[in-house]
């Protein structure tokens, strides 16, 4: 059976001990995943993989960086945010029988004859975990409730509606 080529894969066969860096550039649609397709990831995604190889293990650090397009949760203004994510994966050479119950669940086992490690799924998870829970604009004058412009210049009392005042009181109550 022919295996499809991995989107983000590092070759570890013949890799010397030490630190090695690999750079990849991809897009969300390259992942062929419903969770990433049609999301805020509309531009290029820069992925840096740093592999630190020792005699018995390889530690892989995945760093992602991209610009994501959001809408403010308060005023619905379009926003672009730079997102960065990082994920560290330790791999140990050997078989499960060698370690028995003494292996930490954070480690992943790989065979000594492994040619390459597919990191596509780990990069996808790193991207999803880098998404903020809440997105609000702080420097946008269109978002009158929480913007820096509003705090600096102030809005005359007669220009403020009652719902804005109520929201301002609620905001101050929970600080």
Tell me how far the alpha carbon of residue 122 is from its chain's centroid: 10
Task: Output 43 or 64, whichever has higher pLDDT.
Answer: 64
Select, from the ranges 37-46, 48-57, 134-143, the one with the highest average predicted confidence (pLDDT): 48-57
Q: Which two tokens stand for residue 20?
A: 């090695």
- Identify whether 3 is part of a domain: no
* Residue predicted with more confidence, 72 or 33: 72
Examine the domain organization and report whether 27 and 54 are in the same domain. Answer: yes
Does residue 111 share a domain with residue 36?
Answer: yes
Q: Residue 101 and residue 69: Cα distance in Å, rounded?
A: 45
Predicted confidence at residue 43, as pLDDT, reads 85
> Same domain, yes or no, for 23 and 67?
yes
Residues 47 and 76 in one domain: yes
pLDDT of residue 51 exceeding 90, the answer is yes
Beta-bridge partners for 92: 57, 109
> What pLDDT is attached to residue 147?
41
User: What's the rounded Cα separation, in Å, for the pair 105 and 72?
Assistant: 39
User: Do 28 and 66 share a domain, yes or no?
Assistant: yes
Q: Tokens in use for 60?
A: 């892989």
Nearest alpha carbon to residue 15 among 138, 135, 115, 132: 115
Q: CB neighbours (10 Å) of residue 8?
A: 21
Report the distance separating Cα 30 and Cα 121, nearest Å: 12
Is residue 111 in a domain? yes
Q: Same structural domain for residues 103 and 91?
A: yes
Q: Where are the beta strands (DSSP E) in 54-156?
A: 57-71, 78-93, 108-110, 116-118
Instruction: Please check whether residues 16 and 74 belong to one and the same domain.
Output: yes
Say if pTM beats, i.e. exceeds, 0.75.
Answer: no
Predicted pLDDT at 97: 61
Q: Is residue 58 part of a domain?
A: yes
Same domain? 81 vs 117: yes
Range of the domain at 165: 138-175
User: pLDDT, tens digit, for every residue of 57-112?
Assistant: 899 999 999 988 888 887 777 888 899 999 999 998 877 566 555 566 778 888 88
Residue 152 has a pLDDT of: 45
- Number of domains the chain contains: 2
pLDDT in tens, 117-166: 999 889 989 998 998 888 877 666 656 544 444 444 454 444 556 777 77
Higher pLDDT, 68 or 169: 68
Which residues on neighbouring strands pair with residue 58, listed in sequence order?
53, 91
């Amino acid at each position: 059976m022919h295996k499809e080529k991995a989107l983000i894969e590092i070759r570890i066969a013949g890799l010397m001990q030490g630190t090695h860096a690999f750079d990849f550039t991809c897009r969300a649609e390259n992942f062929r995943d419903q969770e990433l397709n049609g999301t805020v990831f509309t531009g290029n995604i820069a992925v840096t993989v740093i592999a630190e190889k020792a005699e018995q293990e390889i530690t892989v650090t995945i760093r992602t960086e991209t610009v994501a397009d959001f809408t403010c949760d308060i005023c619905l203004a379009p926003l672009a945010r730079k997102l960065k994510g990082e994920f560290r994966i330790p791999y140990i050479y050997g078989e499960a029988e060698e370690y028995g119950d003494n292996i930490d669940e954070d480690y992943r086992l790989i065979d000594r004859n492994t040619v390459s490690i597919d990191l596509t799924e780990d990069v996808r998870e790193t991207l999803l975990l880098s998404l903020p829970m809440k997105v609000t604009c702080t420097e946008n004058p269109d978002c009158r409730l929480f913007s820096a412009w509003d705090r600096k210049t102030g809005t005359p009392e007669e220009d403020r509606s009652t719902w804005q005042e109520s929201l301002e009181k609620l905001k101050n109550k929970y600080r």
